[in-house]
Structure 1
Amino acid sequence: MSMREKTQIIIAASAYGAFFGITATMLTLAVVGLFPPTDSTQVDRPLNTFARVDEQVIDLVQTANEAVVNITVSKKISRSVPSNLDVSENLDVSGQLLEVGGGSGFVISEDGLIVTNRHVVEDEDAVYSIVYASGQSFEAQVLAKDPVLDIALLKVDGNNLPTVPLGDSDTLRPGQTVIAIGNALAELGNSVTRGVVSAIGRRVEAGDGNGRNEILDHAIQTDAAINPGNSGGPLLNLSGEVVGINTAISSRGQSVGFAIPINDAKKTIESVVRHGRIIRPWLGVRYVPVTPRLADEMQLPVLYGALIIDGTSDDERGVLPNSPAAAAGLQEGDIILEINGEKLEDKDSLAQLVARHEVGEEIVIRFVRKGEERVLRLILDEFPIN
């Protein structure tokens, strides 16, 4: 073959290679979206999907907002406070009712039963009012405060009030879209934020943004913004159902909020509806969950359970006086392993297992004392109001 023929073949091969290379590159760019495909429906489909989801969120927020309320906390002030008008003068507000805080809540019955956080309505001397998104305001009565969970129930007079349905928090999965509604910063009523379930079953110590800390068992972690004032507002799924009660934020990071699963609150709600008060079983111990790390640090004989411990002050006893635990003979340093055959593992706390039972019910407790496994029976009392 002559040199000229070889050159023609090489040039032809290079030309074909360049053609196919450019074609392949254009196909690749079309796949990644830099060059649009010729069929416009392939672009419209995902855009339409996102638009439909947005419309769904907008619709459910509009519906839920009718049942989400701002809670205002007012107190009579017995002193003078600095005036905003003149820093050199004091404003005499002695005896006047002034707004000193706020939170959120949501209506769950047509006759005006409202769920919120206990810490929102903790002050016995305060007056509480609820404000609807429409601006209507009503004075509210505090019906009950849960001694275990950060939950309280209020009541306003009304008929055929808009409500928000309760969902099933046990079906939540990490990555699921959720929406938080509340009175952000106690000033921006019915603010809406959107995020995902970051994790479930958390046991955390978190704050409400106002300096108060709360131990939360079995909490929902979400990156939907939960700000001070959002406390007590609903965490919704895309069906518009309440799956959590917004409760706390982490002071150590951003976009880390926590909510009480609504299933944990249903027994409290049912108790108030049926009995007019919260009836909870009571064991009467102070404890910390046993983890492998704690077991290693304290040289414990087991890797799970609930270790009964005294608090930091002399009056914070591990076993409370006059409690079912004290009557049955449990002691500080005992490690509770099981209740009625159910192990105290990561998914369940001692408080959760006790809450599944009824006041007056006898339970069987398996525990470890000084390396030896033991079993005892006790009868659960009603949780004392104080």
Structure 2
Amino acid sequence: MLKKVLHLTVVEVLLVAFTAVFFSPSAFSEENSLTYLESGLNDLVYDVSRSVVTIEASKPIYPNNYSGNLSEAIYTVLSTGLIYDSTGLIIGLAKSVIDRSNIKIKFEGEIVSAILIGVDYQTGLALLKAQRKIGQPFKPVQNSVCAGQMVLAIGNSFGIRAAPSIGFCAGHLTDGTMQFSASVSRSSEGGGLFTLNGQLMGVITEINGRDAEIGIAFPAYKIDEIVSYLLDHGDRNAGYIGVSTTEIEISPPIEVLLQARINSIQQPNRILVHKGLLISKVVPKSPAAKAGLKENDLIFRANGKMITQPLELANFIKKTDPGTILNFDILRQNSAFAVRLPIGKYQILPAGVTSPISPNDVVTDSIIKEIEILKKTIYELESRLKQLN
């Protein structure tokens, strides 16, 4: 109860301070207003930092040219984790702990050993179990409200266990994750995105941008479901096909007759195609490559459903059980084909290992789309100028 009162007090103090500084100079002196603001932020940061830990995951390495004591050759990854409950369960990122033989949890000078309970390959989260209770569990928000909210991003930064940064939540992406803006370090991945009430809004899963100012977070209200699954069943698998795609629009739309085939029989059927996903990369020996998909193929349907966004396709594939056979409709050189594609098993590469398809490809796809639209606009303007001349 005391903690709830503290959270409300922090928010009220912040609101009063902001109002005094920016809207009502006569209410308080500027010095007093900033003092209230600083005090409120200090209380908030301290309170939520009690749920944040540093995860140190390491394993021995054996380089061919290493001639010293092999026990001294250790590869270590530092990341952030969040305390889930009072039994020692901790949420972290799978890529930071997978394939690591030695996991340590650090919190305010304490070092506690931990084991990996399970990995959720669909979200990239991992569940760890510390040897004993440490810190205090986070309190998740119970809704998905995000856009426009001021948030506190907190996580490990250059050895500091709980380095804070103020930012804003931009909104939800099509796969349900949240995008936010705040200046955070890469090692803050696995940390928390908190409201000004001190409740956990999301787990930071990815940091983007040249200056690490754009982040992606997984919604906190969905964590209970993941923890329950991992405790009951162990790892939760995800599907994989091995392609990177770019969203494109077809104007005017074209009508295609689905009767040709690559590796399956498809009954004749007419369909109007106005959007699709252009394959920009196919991973060699991947399920997509083995099924016959190629670069510049245009995917417009998966199992009879129209697919128009890269994130939509990625989310659909990840939630499909490995071994399931999906039917893809594609366009290749103005001809329609049906492709039967057995879904493979998605693997999370350990931190430091390069993936054949970058996790930023989906973000890059959106940028490419905007560039193409800009090019088209410039071309149309140039054509009009020529007509005027």
Task: Tell me whether the two structures share a fold, i.e. TM-score over 0.5.
Answer: yes
> 1:67 aligned to 51, 63, 88, which one?
51
Match of 1:143 in 2: 117
> 1:184 aligned to 144, 157, 165, which one?
157
Using a 3 Å threshold, how does the CA distance of structure 1 residues 121 and 223 change in structure 2: closer, same or farther?
A: same
> 2:139 aligned to 165, 180, 188, which one?
165
Q: SS at the partner of 1:271?
A: helix
> What is the CA–CA distance in structure 1 between the aligned matches of 2:103 and 2:198, rounded to whole Å?
27
Residue type of the alignment partner of 1:164? F
Match of 1:106 in 2: 82
Q: How far 1:78 sits from its partner (Å)?
A: 6.5
Q: How far 1:110 sits from its partner (Å)?
A: 2.7
Q: Is the 8 A contact 1:235 1:259 kept in 2?
A: no
Q: How far 1:230 sits from its partner (Å)?
A: 1.2
Match of 1:131 in 2: 106
> What is the CA–CA distance in structure 2 between the aligned matches of 1:184 and 1:53, rounded to whole Å?
24
Using a 3 Å threshold, how does the CA distance of structure 1 residues 179 and 62 change in structure 2: closer, same or farther?
A: same
> Which has the higher mean CA deviation after the structures are superposed, 269-278 or 342-351?
342-351
What is the alpha-carbon root mean square deviation over aligned residues?
Answer: 4.7
Using a 3 Å threshold, how does the CA distance of structure 1 residues 243 and 289 change in structure 2: closer, same or farther?
A: farther
> 1:193 aligned to 133, 152, 165, which one?
165
> 1:337 aligned to 276, 300, 303, which one?
300
Residue type of the alignment partner of 1:100? T
Q: Is the 8 A contact 2:48 2:138 kept in 1?
A: yes
Q: Is the 8 A contact 1:72 1:101 kept in 2?
A: yes
Q: Is the 8 A contact 1:285 1:308 kept in 2?
A: no
Structure 2: gaps spanning 5 or more residues = 1-19, 257-272, 350-389
Using a 3 Å threshold, how does the CA distance of structure 1 residues 351 and 273 change in structure 2: closer, same or farther?
A: farther
Q: Is the 8 A contact 1:289 1:349 kept in 2?
A: no
Match of 1:271 in 2: 229
Q: How far 1:199 sits from its partner (Å)?
A: 5.6
Q: Is the 8 A contact 1:287 1:306 kept in 2?
A: no
Q: SS at the partner of 1:197?
A: strand
Match of 1:84 in 2: none
> What is the CA–CA distance in structure 2 between the aligned matches of 1:303 and 1:158, rounded to whole Å?
57
What are the superposed Cα offsets for residues 329-358 of structure 1, whole Å, 9 maximum, x if unpaired? Answer: x73355333456754344942122344566
Using a 3 Å threshold, how does the CA distance of structure 1 residues 101 and 365 change in structure 2: closer, same or farther?
A: closer
Q: Is the 8 A contact 2:155 2:188 kept in 1?
A: yes
Using a 3 Å threshold, how does the CA distance of structure 1 residues 58 and 371 change in structure 2: closer, same or farther?
A: farther
Q: How far 1:113 sits from its partner (Å)?
A: 2.2
Alignment of 1:291 with 2:267, yes or no, is no
> What is the CA–CA distance in structure 2 between the aligned matches of 1:49 and 1:341, rounded to whole Å?
59
Q: Is the 8 A contact 2:204 2:218 kept in 1?
A: no
> What is the CA–CA distance in structure 2 between the aligned matches of 1:335 and 1:381, rounded to whole Å?
20
> Which has the higher mean CA deviation after the structures are superposed, 103-112 or 92-101?
92-101
Match of 1:154 in 2: 128
For this pair of structures, how many residues does the alignment match? 307
Using a 3 Å threshold, how does the CA distance of structure 1 residues 375 and 58 change in structure 2: closer, same or farther?
A: farther
> 2:316 aligned to 353, 361, 378, which one?
353
Q: Is the 8 A contact 2:327 2:338 kept in 1?
A: yes
Structure 1: gaps spanning 5 or more residues = 1-32, 80-89, 203-216
Alignment of 1:319 with 2:288, yes or no, is yes
**Identical-residue share of aligned pairs (%):** 20
Q: SS at the partner of 1:165?
A: coil
Q: How far 1:272 sits from its partner (Å)?
A: 1.0
> What is the CA–CA distance in structure 2 between the aligned matches of 1:291 and 1:50, rounded to whole Å?
50
Alignment of 1:245 with 2:207, yes or no, is no
> What is the CA–CA distance in structure 2 between the aligned matches of 1:310 and 1:318, rounded to whole Å?
13
Q: How far 1:308 sits from its partner (Å)?
A: 4.2
Using a 3 Å threshold, how does the CA distance of structure 1 residues 379 and 55 change in structure 2: closer, same or farther?
A: farther
Using a 3 Å threshold, how does the CA distance of structure 1 residues 119 and 243 change in structure 2: closer, same or farther?
A: same
Q: How far 1:130 sits from its partner (Å)?
A: 0.5
Q: SS at the partner of 1:43?
A: coil
Match of 2:91 in 1: 115
Q: Is the 8 A contact 2:241 2:317 kept in 1?
A: no
Q: Is the 8 A contact 1:77 1:93 kept in 2?
A: no
> What is the CA–CA distance in structure 1 between the aligned matches of 2:220 and 2:208, rounded to whole Å?
23
Q: How far 1:158 sits from its partner (Å)?
A: 3.4
> Which is bigger in relative contact order (C-alpha 8 A, separation at least 6)?
2
What are the superposed Cα offsets for residues 7-51 of structure 1, whole Å, 9 maximum, x if unpaired? Answer: xxxxxxxxxxxxxxxxxxxxxxxxxx9xxx9xx995249999987
Q: TM-score, normalised by structure 1?
A: 0.61
> What is the CA–CA distance in structure 1 between the aligned matches of 2:162 and 2:125, rounded to whole Å?
20
Q: How far 1:94 sits from its partner (Å)?
A: 4.7
> What is the CA–CA distance in structure 2 between the aligned matches of 1:98 and 1:384, rounded to whole Å?
23
Residue type of the alignment partner of 1:305? G
Match of 1:236 in 2: 194
Larger Rg belongs to: 1
> What is the CA–CA distance in structure 1 between the aligned matches of 2:329 and 2:221, rounded to whole Å?
25
> What is the CA–CA distance in structure 1 between the aligned matches of 2:51 and 2:118, rounded to whole Å?
20
